Structure 1
Amino acid sequence: MTESFGPLSPALVLIVAGLLLPLVRGWLRNALFLAAPVAALALVWLLPLGPGLVVDWLGLGLVPLAPDQLARIFGTAFGIAALAGALYGQSQENVAEKAAALIYAGAAQGIAFAGDLASLFVFWEVMAIGSTVVIWSNGDTRAGLRYALIHVLGGILLFAGIAAEVSASGSVALQAVRADSLGRWLMLAGILVNAGAPPLSAWVADAYPKASWSGTVFLSAFTTKAAVLVLIRLFPGEPALLWFGLAMAVYGMVYALLEDDIRRLLSYSIVGQVGFMLVAVGLGSELALAAAALHAFAHILYKALLMMAAGAILKATGETRLSALGGLAAAMPLVTAAMLVGAFSLAAVPLTAGFVSKSAIMAALAADHAGLFWFALTAVSAGSFLYVGLRLPWFALFRPAGKAPEPRDPAWSMKAAMALLCGAILAIGCFPSVLVPLVPEISGVAILTPDHVLFQLQLLVAASCIFVMVLPLLRPRAGSTLDVDWLWRELPRKVLPAWARFTRPGRAALAVLEDPVRARLSAFSRRFAAELVNAANWRTGQIAFWATTLIAAYVLIAAL
C-alpha cells in the first residue's frame, strides 16, 4: 500500500535547513545551523522501528524512510557528529560551507534510513555534492575537483551495478547479497571507492586537509562511515572485504607514521580505522557486524574530536605541520586534552570508546578463529598508538618549542564542542553497558575485565618502548609523501611525451590503415544512430555498460 505521507525524516530536516541557511542572517543563521542537527538527532530516536514509508514510483516500491536498529546506530552517530560540528563551527563565517555541511549530514542520514537501492543512490549522490562544496568553499578548487571526479567514478560504478541488479531481479529492495555477478561487483566497487579502499585510498588524505578548520570535522564523519553502513546492509560476510580491510589497516598505519601534516596524518588514519570495520563486515557474523557498526560509531566521535583539535591548532597558529609545531600544551590545555582523549581512543586505550569497539572486533575475530586477522589487527592497533598516541602529541604539543607560532585561544563554541565529544568518549569507555540497548550483540564481550585491560596495557607499553628506541626515525620532516595516486596524477605527464617520441615512426607506418578504420567506425556509428532514430529498445545492461564505460573514461582523462 502506498502512503502519501509518513514520519518526518532526519535527512529532510537537515537538507531543508541547509537550503534555507543562506536566506537567513546573523544569530538566526547560527541558531538554525545548530537547531537542525538537534532536531534530526531527536527524530532518530522518535521514529518507530518498522518497515517505514513505502512510495510507489513507476511500479517500484521505494522505501525512503525505513527505521531499524542499524539505522538508529548510524543515525545517532551521524546526529552527534552533525551537532558537535555545528557547535564547533559557530564562528565559521562561510555560509556556503555551513549550508553544504548540513546537506552533507542530511544525505548521510538519508543513507542510514534508506530502505531501497534507488533512494540509497539519490542520497549517495547528494552526499558527494555536499562534501565537494565543503571542500570547494575553502578555496581549493583543484582538490575539490579531484575529490569530485573520484566520487563521480564511484557513483557511476554504483549506478551501473544497481541498474544491472534491478534488471536481473526486477526489484530495488535493499538486501544482503553476494558479489557473484558483474552488477554486484560493480556495486561493491562503487561502495569501496567511498570507503577509501585501495587502489584509490589516497583521495582521503588528498581532499580532507584542503577543507577549512571546521569543514574537515564534517568530512571526517560521514562519507567513509556511510560506505561501511551500506556494506553491512548489502555485502555482510563478503570474503573480499577481509583482505581489502587488512590492506587498508596496514596502509593507513604506514602512511600516518610517515606524515608531517597533522590533518593528513589523521586522514590516513581514517583509512586505517575503516579497514578494521571492513574486516569485521567481511567476517559476517552477528557479533562482527555489530562490532563494525559500533567501531564506526566510536570512530565518528574520536576522529571528529581529533579533527577539532587539529582545526583549533590551525586556527590558532596558522600551522599544522609537526615539524613546525611544538610546546603548545601549556598554551592550549583544552586542545591538548582533546587531542589526547581522541588519540587514546583511536589507539584503544582502556576507558575510552575505541577500546570498547576494538574489543568487540577482536572478540568477533577470536570467536571465528580468524587468527591471521586477529594478530595483524593487534599489531596495527599497537602501530596506531605509535603515530597518534605518542608521535602526534609529542611533536605537536609537548616537545620543547623552537620557533613555534604564538597560539590564540579558541572560541567558546570550539571548546564546548571538544568538551562534549571528550565526555561522550570517556563515558562510553567507562560504562560500556550504556551501548548494550543500541548494540545488544556486545553484551557478552569481555571489555573491562582485568586480563583484557592488562593485555592491552602491555601492548601499549611495548609500543611506547619502541617509540623511545626509534624516535629519531619518527621525527617529522617537511615535504610530501609519495602515494599511489602518483601513478595517475604525475606518471602520465612524465611518460606520455617520451612515449609520443618513441611511437612517432610507428604512427607513420599505421597511417595507411586510417581510412579502413575510419570506414568501420562510420558504419558502427550509423548502425547505432539508426537504432536511436527507430526508437529501438536497448537492454538495461547494455545501457549501463556503455554509460559506465564512456563516463568512467571521461573521469579518468579529466583526472589526469
Structure 2
Amino acid sequence: MLEWIHPSLVLIAGALLLPFLEGRSRQIWQIALPAFVLLILLGLEPGEYGRLSVGALELLPGRVDKLSLVFAYVFGIILVVGNIYALHVDDWIQHVAAMVYAAGALGVVLAGDLVSLYVFWELMVISSVWLIWQRRTEVSYRAGMRYMLVHAFGGMLLLAGLLAHYQATGSIAFNAFDPDGWWFYLILVAFLINAAVPPLHAWLTDAYPEATVTGTIFLSALTTKTAVYTLVRGFPGTELLVWLGVVMALYGVVYAVLANDIRRLLAYHIVSQVGYMVAGVGMGTTLALSGTAAHAFTHILYKALLLMGAGAVLHMTGRSKLTELGGLYRWMPITFLLYMIGGLSISAFPLFSGFVSKTMIVEAAAVDYRGWVWLLLTMASAGTFLHTGLKLPYFTFLGKDSGLRPNEAPRNMLIAMGIAAAFCFLLGVFPGALYALLPHEVDYHAYTAGHLLKEMQLLLFTGLGFFLLLKHVGGDPKISLDTDWFYRRAGPVVAVALRDAVTAADRRVRAGSMMLLGRALAVSRERFGHGGRLAQSWPTGSMAFWTMVVLAVLLVLFALQ
C-alpha cells in the first residue's frame, strides 16, 4: 500500500479523463475530482512524505505543515468553486488547463525542496497560459505570449538561483534563505515576478483581463498567492519587502483610478492587495506573517467572487467597460448583491472577511512602530473601497441606464458566487476558524472598539467623498500606459533597431573583408604570378597554397553570415 500519493498527481491524472467525457458525465467529474482532492488535503497530517534520492539530490515533494496547509486548503476550495462556475463551458482544454494549473500550485506549497518547487513552478506557467489563449482572440493570444515570456524569464532566474544556491551550500532544501549569497537575490526576483511587484507586475494587468471569463478566476487565485507563500517560506523579515509591499498597495490603487475595463480594474486591485501580504512578509513578525497567510486565504475567496461577478456581466452582456455599462441591477439583481459582498469584503468592512485579515497586517505595522507603513497601508485601504466597493458597482449596476437588458447569470455561476459569498461572510463573523489554521498562534482580536472605529470612519468618509465627487470618478475610455509599454511598444522598436544595426555591421565587415581579400589577391598576382619568383620555382605549390587560403577565408565568412 502506498504511503503517499501526491494530491497534484491525483488531480493531473483525473484531469486527463476530461477530454473523453461529455455532457452530464463531464460536469459530474468536473466537480467530483476537485472535491475528492479537497478531501485529501483536509486529511493531510503534518509531516514529510515522498522523500526520495535522485543521484546526490534529496527530493521532498511532500512537506506538510501549518503554513503549507493554509494555502493548500484555500486552493482546494477555490478549485471546487471555480469548476462550479465553469460548468456551462464546453471546452475541455480550459478545464484540463485549470486542473493542471491548480496541481502545479498545490505542488509548490507542498514542496520541501527547490527542485520539486521548480518543476511545479514551471508546470503552472505551461498550463495557465491556455486559460488566456482559449479566449481565442488576437489580443488574448498576444497577451498570453507576453505572459509566458515574462514567466519564462522568472523561471530562468529561479533555476539559476537554485543552481547557485546548491553550489554554495550543497543543499536544495526549501527553507528561509541566508541573504549572504548573490543567489539570494536571483531567487527573490523570481518570486517577486510571480507576486506582481512593480515594475515587474504588468504581466498580470495585461493578461488577466484578456483571459476567458472562467479562467480568470483560477488565474487570480493561484499565481500571486503561490508567490506569497514562497516569500513567507523563504524570505521572512526581508526589510526590502516592506517598502515594495507598500508601493504595490498604493500603485494598484492609483492605476485602478484610471482603469475603464472592469476586469482590469480588479486586476490592479490584485496588485494592491498582494502588496499588503508582501509588506507583511517583510515585517516578519509573528502577527505580520500570520496576517499575510490569513489575508491570502480571504483574498482568494473575495477576489474570486468579485471577478465572478464581473465575469457574469461580461458573459451576459459581452461588455466590460464602465463607460458601456450601467443600470444592470434591475436585470441581474442576484449578481449585483453577491458582487457587493465581495466588494465589502475587499474593503475590510466589518462582518466581512477582509476586515479580519487586512487589519492584522496593518496592526502588525502599528505594534512594530512602523508609522509610515501603517499610514500608507491605511490610505491604500481607502482607495480600495473607493474603486472596488463603490466606483465599479455604481457605474456597472447602478448609475445611468446603458440600455442593456441581459438575463440573470446562469445558475451554476450564481451557485459558485453564493458559495464564495458565504465564505466571505462566515469568515468575517467567525474569524476564529480562520485564525486556527494560521502557521503561528496569535493573540489578535479584530472586533475591538479601536479597529471598528477606525475602519468605519475610513469607509464612511471615503463613501462621502465618492458621492461628492461622483461626476469626476467615472470611467474614462482611454488606455493607461503602464510598465508593460516597455516590452509591448518600445521593446519591438528596440529589437528591430538592434537587428538592423547588427545586419548593417555584418554587411560592412563582410564588404571590408572581401575588399582586403581582393587587395591581397592582387598583390599576390603581382608578386607571385607569371614572372614572379614563387611561380617560376614552384607554380603548382603556389596555386594550391592560395586556393587553400581563399577557401578557408570564404568558409569563415559564410559561417559568420
Would you say same fold, with TM above 0.5? yes
Give distance in 1, aligned partners of 2:345 and 2:159.
36
Shift of 1:25: 2.1
Residues 420, 496 of structure 1: alpha-carbon distance in 2 compared, 3 angstrom cutoff: closer
- If you compute each CA radius of gyration, which structure gives the higher value, 1 or 2? 2
Partner residue, 1:529: none
1:378 is aligned with what amino acid? T
Give distance in 1, aligned partners of 2:340 and 2:310.
12
| Preserved CA contact (<8 Å) 2:283 2:365 | yes
Q: Tell me if 1:339 matches 2:327.
A: no
2:290 is aligned with what amino acid? A
SS of 1:233's partner is helix
Shift of 1:492: 4.2
Residues 181, 389 of structure 1: alpha-carbon distance in 2 compared, 3 angstrom cutoff: same
Give distance in 2, aligned partners of 1:232 and 1:289.
7
> Which of 108, 124, 128 is the equivalent residue of 2:121?
124
Give distance in 2, aligned partners of 1:96 and 1:421.
25
Residues 343, 442 of structure 1: alpha-carbon distance in 2 compared, 3 angstrom cutoff: farther
1:9 is aligned with what amino acid? H
Q: Tell me if 1:98 matches 2:98.
A: no
| Preserved CA contact (<8 Å) 1:13 1:39 | no
Shift of 1:206: 0.7
Residues 164, 33 of structure 1: alpha-carbon distance in 2 compared, 3 angstrom cutoff: same
| Preserved CA contact (<8 Å) 2:176 2:234 | yes
Give distance in 1, aligned partners of 2:55 and 2:301.
40
Gaps of 5+ in 1: 516-560
Residues 495, 155 of structure 1: alpha-carbon distance in 2 compared, 3 angstrom cutoff: closer
Partner residue, 1:71: 68
Larger mean CA deviation between 439-448 and 47-56 belongs to 439-448
Shift of 1:183: 1.2
Residue by residue over 1:419-465, the C-alpha shift from the partner in whole angstroms, topping out at 9 and shown as x without a partner, is 10111110000111122321274642121123311210000111112
SS of 2:51's partner is strand
| Preserved CA contact (<8 Å) 1:112 1:226 | yes
Give distance in 1, aligned partners of 2:499 and 2:53.
55
Give distance in 2, aligned partners of 1:510 and 1:310.
58
List aligned pairs for 1:230-245, cutoff 5 A: 230-245=230-245
Shift of 1:130: 1.1
1:104 is aligned with what amino acid? Y
Give distance in 2, aligned partners of 1:464 and 1:228.
31
Give distance in 1, aligned partners of 2:371 and 2:144.
41
Partner residue, 1:190: 190
Give distance in 1, aligned partners of 2:382 and 2:97.
37
| Preserved CA contact (<8 Å) 1:326 1:401 | yes
List aligned pairs for 1:150-549, cutoff 5 A: 150-403=150-403, 405-439=404-438, 441=440, 443-493=442-492
Give distance in 2, aligned partners of 1:501 and 1:416.
56
SS of 2:177's partner is coil
Partner residue, 2:135: 138
Give distance in 1, aligned partners of 2:16 and 2:107.
16
| Preserved CA contact (<8 Å) 2:286 2:442 | no
Larger mean CA deviation between 442-451 and 78-87 belongs to 442-451
SS of 2:329's partner is coil
Residues 495, 335 of structure 1: alpha-carbon distance in 2 compared, 3 angstrom cutoff: same
1:60 is aligned with what amino acid? L
Give distance in 1, aligned partners of 2:511 and 2:57.
53
Shift of 1:507: 9.8
| Preserved CA contact (<8 Å) 1:446 1:452 | no
Residue by residue over 1:321-360, the C-alpha shift from the partner in whole angstroms, topping out at 9 and shown as x without a partner, is 1110001112111111121111111111111110010111
1:364 is aligned with what amino acid? A
Give distance in 2, aligned partners of 1:205 and 1:382.
21
TM-score (norm 1): 0.87
Shift of 1:408: 2.0
Give distance in 1, aligned partners of 2:456 and 2:288.
24
Partner residue, 2:80: 83
Larger mean CA deviation between 267-276 and 8-17 belongs to 8-17
| Preserved CA contact (<8 Å) 1:344 1:389 | yes
Give distance in 1, aligned partners of 2:265 and 2:155.
27
| Preserved CA contact (<8 Å) 1:225 1:296 | yes
Give distance in 1, aligned partners of 2:59 and 2:496.
51
Residue by residue over 1:228-269, the C-alpha shift from the partner in whole angstroms, topping out at 9 and shown as x without a partner, is 001111111111111221111111101111100010111111
SS of 2:64's partner is coil
Partner residue, 1:547: none
Give distance in 2, aligned partners of 1:371 and 1:60.
45
TM-score (norm 2): 0.87
| Preserved CA contact (<8 Å) 1:258 1:474 | no
Give distance in 1, aligned partners of 2:264 and 2:479.
10
Shift of 1:490: 0.9
Larger mean CA deviation between 424-433 and 20-29 belongs to 20-29
Partner residue, 1:556: none
Partner residue, 1:49: 46
Gaps of 5+ in 2: 515-561
Give distance in 1, aligned partners of 2:3 and 2:164.
30
Residues 504, 379 of structure 1: alpha-carbon distance in 2 compared, 3 angstrom cutoff: same
SS of 1:463's partner is helix
CA root-mean-square deviation = 2.2
Give distance in 2, aligned partners of 1:65 and 1:501.
51
Give distance in 1, aligned partners of 2:84 and 2:499.
55
| Preserved CA contact (<8 Å) 1:17 1:33 | no
1:56 is aligned with what amino acid? S
**Identical-pair percentage:** 41
Query: 4+ residue stretches of structure 1 with deviation over 6 A?
Result: 495-515
Larger mean CA deviation between 388-397 and 20-29 belongs to 20-29
| Preserved CA contact (<8 Å) 1:9 1:43 | no
Larger mean CA deviation between 488-497 and 198-207 belongs to 488-497
Shift of 1:409: 2.0
| Preserved CA contact (<8 Å) 2:353 2:424 | yes
Give distance in 2, aligned partners of 1:146 and 1:362.
34
